[in-house]
A and B are shown apart, each in its own frame.
Chain A
Amino acid sequence: MSVDYPRYLRNDKLPLYWCPGCGNGIVLKALIGAIDELHWEKNDIVMVSGIGCAARGSGYVDFHTLHTLHGRAVPAATAIKMCHPSMHVIVFSGDGDMLAIGGNHFIHACRRNIDITMVVVNNWIYGMTGGQYSPTTPPGSKASTMPQGNIDSNFDVVELARGAGATFVARGSVADPISLKNYLRKGLEHKGISVIDALSTCHTQWGGRNQLGDPVQLVEHIRNITVNRSNAGALSPEELQGKMITGIFHQDLEKKEYAQAYYELSRPVEQTAVV
């Protein structure tokens, strides 16, 4: 059955603010597809974002939405989950937002294992502000603040999340939206922190500078440099050189979820409390 997308969108806000051909729309569509499969009520979903192109996504979905400050979606989402533990809380924001200015919140949310889903819309660049390099910009690639080619090392979002203690970690890409949707659904279902590194495209600010300015060509580029985990085993180290592996990397069902742990220790004695 096909997804009734308009049901999930604030249709009066369309057309999207994003450049035609931007990968953000594909990621958002995959997310809505995943939510649709879960049959979640719109009243039960909160989407929080920071600042950036991807972060504008929160304005288009007909959920509870909060468009916070640059880098600050995660603490906002954390608080909302604590306040309404039965609601589903999703963070949808860019690589710069989540990993540079918001990097501290990101790792602590992974460690804390609170039940929110963090979708990192990872286009390897600061799209909104003009193509400055981000913590995921590949070394050597060009950015407006690294016109000579990036000399800074990049984060591997999967390794970072896993190292910080996240209990669900996956990577998908706009070159394979069906798998991306499946990873998102599994992440949304996971009780605990889930991180989905969603490789996306910014032809306007990254592609153009790196001879990949056509949106289709850029998606093709992502297809060429990604390998699914299930196939990666068959490849030699040389063949894997420069490739990004996609798939679900980690799921831990044992570690206690934070909000649940808090509510267990919190046994209200409202009647007896002397206030």
Chain B
Amino acid sequence: MADVQIMNGNQLIVEAALLAGCRFYAGYPITPSSEIPELLARRMPEVGGIFMQLEDEIASIIAAAAASYAGYKSMTASSGPGISLKQEGIGMACMMELPLVIVDVMRGGPSTGLPTRASQSDYMQARWGTHGDHMIIAVAPGTLLECYTQTIRAFNMAERYRTPVIILSDATLAHLSSGVTLPPPDTLEIVDRRQPTVEPENYRPYEISATNPVPPLPNRENFPRYRFHMTGLNKDATGFPTENATTVLADENRMINKIMDATADIESFEHYQLEDAQVAVIAYGSNANAARVAIKEARAQGLKVGMFRPITVWPFPFQQVMELGRKFKHIIVSEMNLGQMIHEVQRALQGRSELHCVLQAAGTPIRPQQILQKIREVSA
């Protein structure tokens, strides 16, 4: 029997996180993410997990990372300004290779921006907000159902690749309530971090096998038995700091490649009516719904147009977009900011297609009409 629930995006993220095994949350309230801590404050004690409201976003990301070090699946949530504050901690989790999920219910900016309005202006912050060379995984759910399924995926990828994963939601998804048919839990894959097979005295937190660039990490049960060191400094396989150039370079490359070499698993996207299309729209997140409506309308008017919708937005689906460039003369990028993903698209197209855009950073969602108009212009 289908499990139909009336829920909004924030609630769906919470329930998915709990189903994925999240048992630690630390955060600091900020609109439009605040239902996440409010709901978790009730739900965590029910499932034997830990909820903490800490003094700020910095404490929260550090606590969430430390809980992951201590073996827990953990999460924090915030929005633009709070994510800015978390960035140093996100980098720490990248360096320590700690599985962690960070929800960013995006709002406009810079600064305090538009607290209650929808935006996609953290697209680049998600990728490059923390300093130093690193790779990040970020997913942008486009529907309420995806708020659920992509949150589970975010935890799975965090655990499988020992890395922070960012969920880019926005105020529209967060506060839109609707009936959602949730997949039965037993049909969902739940991934747990690989456990060390060596005796505790022989465990080294960054020692990899010939076949897997992701080292095992003790879970909640095993943590007390395994004593090891972790640092935010560049480290060697033992977890201790090193300045050896060869070791550092190899480790930096491994941390990036453990993600880049797994894009077949990490990548996710939707092709919508692209088959016979002559114009392609590229949009993600809640804004892709406006694009979808525009495309339906355009098709009703006889214009052949489709959409490429990245769901995993980082790593950027370079190969996919490059192929779009081979096929389409005109590509329209639409995003709720003044141009962020479009730079990546441009790089991938390598000048093959003519690039158009529908961008907006006004706090108001982009209307299907705006995208439709651009489709008409381009198709003319």
Contact = CB atoms under 8 A, between A and B. Distances in A.
Interface in A56-114: 58-59, 62-69, 72, 74-80, 82-84, 87, 104-105, 108
A112 to B, nearest CB: 9
Contact of B229 (A42, A58, A87, A108): A58
A83 B47 contact: no
Given A69-B88, A69-B92, A79-B52, A267 B45 contact: yes
Nearest to B58: A72
Given A59-B229, A108-B59, A66 B240 contact: no
Nearest to B72: A83
A270 interface: yes
Given A76-B63, A80-B66, A108-B59, A68 B92 contact: yes
A80 B62 CA distance: 11
B40 to A, nearest CB: 12
A75 B60 contact: yes
Interface stretch (B111-119, B217-225, B336-344): B217-225
Interface in A1-43: 10, 13, 42-43
Contacts of B54: 75, 78, 108
B228 interface: yes
B224 A66 contact: no
B15 A275 contact: yes
A269 interface: yes
Contacts of B44: 266
Interface string B215-246: 00000100111011111110000001100000
B89 A79 contact: no
Contacts of B206: none
Nearest to A258: B52
A273 B46 contact: yes
Contact of B46 (A10, A72, A79, A269): A269
Given A63-B227, A275-B15, A80 B58 contact: no
Given A59-B240, A69-B92, A105 B55 contact: yes
Interface residues of B, number: 46
B280 interface: no
Contacts of B47: 268, 270, 273, 275
B24 A79 contact: yes
Contacts of B89: 69, 72
B165 to A, nearest CB: 19
Interface in B72-110: 72, 88-89, 92
Nearest to B52: A82
Contacts of A79: 24, 26, 50, 52, 62-64, 66-67, 70
A82 B59 CA distance: 14
Contact of B67 (A42, A82, A269): A82
Contact of A268 (B45, B66, B71, B241): B45
A83 B19 contact: no
B65 interface: yes
Nearest to B54: A75
Interface in A185-229: none
A152 to B, nearest CB: 23
Contacts of A252: none
Given A75-B54, A108-B59, A262-B50, 12 more contacts: A43-B225, A43-B227, A62-B227, A64-B228, A68-B232, A69-B232, A74-B59, A75-B66, A79-B67, A83-B70, A105-B55, A266-B44
Interface of A: 10, 13, 42-44, 46, 48, 51, 58-59, 62-69, 72, 74-80, 82-84, 87, 104-105, 108, 262, 265-270, 273, 275
Please provide the 5 A-B residue pairs with the shortest distance between their CB atoms, ordered closest to farther: A266-B45, A76-B66, A268-B48, A79-B63, A75-B59
20 contacts: A43-B225, A44-B224, A51-B232, A64-B228, A65-B229, A68-B62, A69-B62, A72-B89, A78-B59, A79-B62, A79-B66, A80-B69, A84-B70, A105-B55, A262-B50, A266-B45, A270-B48, A275-B15, A275-B19, A275-B47
